[in-house]
Amino acid sequence: MAVVVVESPSKAKTINKYLGSNYTVLATVGHVRHLDEKDGSVDPNNDFHMKWKIDPKKQKNLTAIKKALNTDNHLILATDPDREGEAISWHLVEILKNQKSLNSKTRIERVVFNAVTKHAVLEAIANPRALDMPLVEAYLVRGGLDYLLGYSLSPIIIRKLPIGATSAGRVQSPTLRLIVDREMEIEAFKAQEYWSIEASFLNKDGKLFEAQAIEYKGEKIEKHSVNSGTHAKEIVTNLSKNNFHIETIHSTPKQRNPFPPFLTSTLQQEANNRLYMGTQQTMSVAQKLYEAGHITYMRTDGIDMAPEAVSATRNLISKTFGEKYLPKSPRFYKNKAANAQEAHECIRPTNIQKTSKNLSLTDINQIKLYELIRNRTLACQMENEISETTTAILANEEGNNKLKASGRVIIFDGFRKAFNFHNDEDHKSSDAKELPQLDEGSRIELSSIKPEQHFTQAKPRYTEASLVKKMVDLGIGRPSTYASIVSRIQQREYVRKEKNRLIPEDKGKLVSVFLAGYFKKYIEYDYTAELENDLDDVSSGKSIWKDILSKFWDEFSPHFDAAKDLRISEVLIKINELLEPHYFPKSADNSNPKLCPNCQKGNLSLRTSRTGNAFIGCSSYPDCRFIRPLSIMTKETLEKVSNDKILGLHPGGSKILVKTGKFGPYVQLGEASEENSKPRRTSIPKNFDVNDLTLELALQLIELPKTLGNHPDDGAPILSAIGPYGPYLKHNKSYANISNLEEFLSIGMNRAVELISDQAKKVSKSKGPSVMRIIGEHPDGGDIQLMTGRYGPYLKYKKTNVGIKDKNDLDNIDLDKALELLKAKSKK
């Protein structure tokens, strides 16, 4: 009886059904050992010797494997077919050798399969190989680099940058830089006004169509050339007096090829764009589909399809859509991945015939992701889309004023029958609509004409999808790291996600600027990409892994040694110098852009508080208490967020003020004075635009926290309040979070009781009498619960418990905070 080892219990269960009683299938449950977190676990002075530590949580799994090997001398390593899978197998063999669970007679074989199907597994078992040591060495060099850079930089960031920053990383830091650089571009962007001239015409049959002015008095109208309303109105006035005819009409056929099948990065992008799933969630759901045998391996840079899969897909297309949707010959897609070790087969269903209903899937995310993968696989082997674009040029009698009308008609939908465009880009362009019948030379009637004002737009903030695409374009990261990197910068609170967009926190900005000032080379995109290529050369056997570590350390260590001696004051001066051109741009009148607008004496600069917050403050503190969140200090921005904005008067006669502090904007009742040193104030939630705050809303905010009334069931009060993580209701130990401020402030007793009751029902369905409330659903599935036990309150997720030391924090724990605490616990 052979012992087969895989990573996950679910995968073991599936494979066990295929192999039968002659095999014992066991799981490691991920990596069994890792680099010790202590200093010196990678020793540059000892030929980069690495100190490994067995994960204590995996002792039970190791014991089971060793016990099974006592009765059988045949070990089959069937971990995932990538670098991480190869490393897990290598680690296991090393541990078993060290613990003398393997001997000279033990047969050790490595098998790989791209899909957890009976055919793939049995074929792999019949064709074993040895461990791929170049692939293992590629893992070792990546781990060594990540340790040397991350464990060197992280303590420096923690000690020299007093803002609560916790880490830096080889791929993490360049990725953070992408988000920070984009945000600074957006902050510095100045919108430019421009106008377009839009007209509607009637053809000879009275059918309406639209056109846009492209030429006026013989001069072309470029996109931004009409930059004032006066000029636009002049053009409209002139054109409205003209008679127009169709000068030329031209039709162009166009074909669009289908998208290739999914690889890791494109799956993450499409799942984010279409299904609103984060990268980490996408990979978690895909992992479950893979382990159940429904899709091929989900970490790949390859778009190859197995010949039998191509054949099965083509047969289904013919049967489902008809012969006209099937090309005469199969489509073959060429891998772009430079590293063949990462380029496994594409992500596709293991059986294209089966829909999610056939597979009896019940999890909604698995259903959606499976159908997305299946439809993309079908589309990649279907016929092109065929369309025709028609462009008509409209001219006046003199021929010096012209407009253009465009239209597009789909003649044959082809692959779009299975997989359409996201938010169909056809509707974003002026040629999206179909034109009516137009004849060259025919007269047309002007129905209406008007100028339309526009403003240039800054580049948008990254979504997780567009960030992964940018990482791929720059060569930063690999399939196994995209999701974890994007997730990590959010968990570190360097970046937050709002409305699916990634926004850098002040902490993230300063970490990025610090690294740019002292370790610029190591967050450069080109350097990171070149290093990735060097690491790929190790897996293909072209480079020696320790040579790469040696070269890196020789270049990096002098920078590291110099940074260790830096004083915090020096670091802040350096960061101020780097940020000065951005936050204090030169003014047109050459006045001092850093002069404090409040006292007119001190200079503004970046400052940090004891609590780790960063802000812009005055050098004359404490005489001048002017402070601002990190933002560009110009007259316009200062006027937009003045120090004390008066919304109106409270019924009691005091002013209602909007102020900005170290922790963001808040409303305050009256000015501070000797008699009232601490006036009543309430924070404005982060997701609410201060510019939308009215006196009515401010008056309601200033009353918080307050008791809405007593619950009809037990007479206990229902409290309405705003915490650091937003508005919430509280009744005894039940909480209900409400994200929308205006909805929250309008809640009456009936609605409050309903929300509290809904929360109580969720709690009652949970196991055990100690559940206080359900925090939310974990990205990997399952509820995170806030519990109370013998030793006080704690968070519970599956088998992980995290104690809550400060009971005052209970009201403020939301899903993001809970995930952060669970992550910190897992690291320990």
Which tokens sit at 67?
């016990």
Task: Phi first, then psi: give them for residue 499, nearest 5 degrees.
Answer: 50, 40
Determine whether 297 is an active site residue. Answer: yes
Task: Produce one character per residue of 11-47: b if its CB has 16 or more CB atoms within 10 Å, e if not.
Answer: bbebbbebbeeebbbbbbbeebbebeeeeebbebeee
Handedness of CA 69, 74, 76, 77 (dihedral sign): positive
Name the CA dihedral angle for 187, 190, 191, 194, rounded to a multiple of 10 degrees: -160
Question: In this structure, are residues 269 and 465 in contact, taking their beta carbons and an 8 Å threshold?
Answer: yes
**CA-based angle 693:696:702, to the nearest 5?**
85
CA 216, 218, 224: angle at the middle one, nearest 5? 50
Q: Which of 682, 686, 649, 650 is nearest to 666 (CA)?
A: 682
Which amino acid, 52? W
Q: What is the DSSP letter of 502?
A: E
At how many degrees (to 10) do helices 506-518 and 545-564 cross? 100
Instruction: Answer whether 199's CB lies under 8 Å from 403's CB.
Output: yes
- The active-site residue, picked from 139, 297, 518, 728, is 297
What CA–CA distance (Å, rounded) separates 61 from 28? 6
Q: Specify the DSSP class assigned to residue 814.
A: -
Measured in degrees and rounded to the nearest 5, phi and psi for residue 176 equal -60, -40
66, 69, 74, 79: CA torsion to nearest 10: -30
Report how far residue 743's alpha carbon sits from residue 739's, in angstroms, rounded to the nearest whole number: 8
CA dist 632 to 615, 628, 800, Å? 12, 10, 43
Distances (CA, A) of 403 to 214, 384, 393, 406: 5, 32, 6, 10
Q: Give the chain's radius of gyration (CA, Å).
A: 32
Phi first, then psi, for residue 373 (nearest 5°) are -65, -45
Q: How many helices (H) and strands (E) does the chain have?
A: 22, 32
Residues 6+ apart with CB under 8 A from 275: 282, 365, 368, 369, 372
CA-CA-CA-CA dihedral for 367, 372, 373, 377, to nearest 10: 130
Residue 791 structure tokens: 């030793």
Locate 275 and state its tokens.
């299904």
* H helix or E strand, kind and range, residue 729: strand 726-731
Distance separating alpha carbons of residues 167 and 154, to the nearest angstrom: 4
- In this structure, are strands 664-669 and 771-777 parallel, antiparallel, or unpaired? unpaired
CB 493 within 8 A of CB 724: no
Q: Distance (Å, rounded) from C-alpha 246 to C-alpha 599? A: 66
Residues noted as catalytic = 297
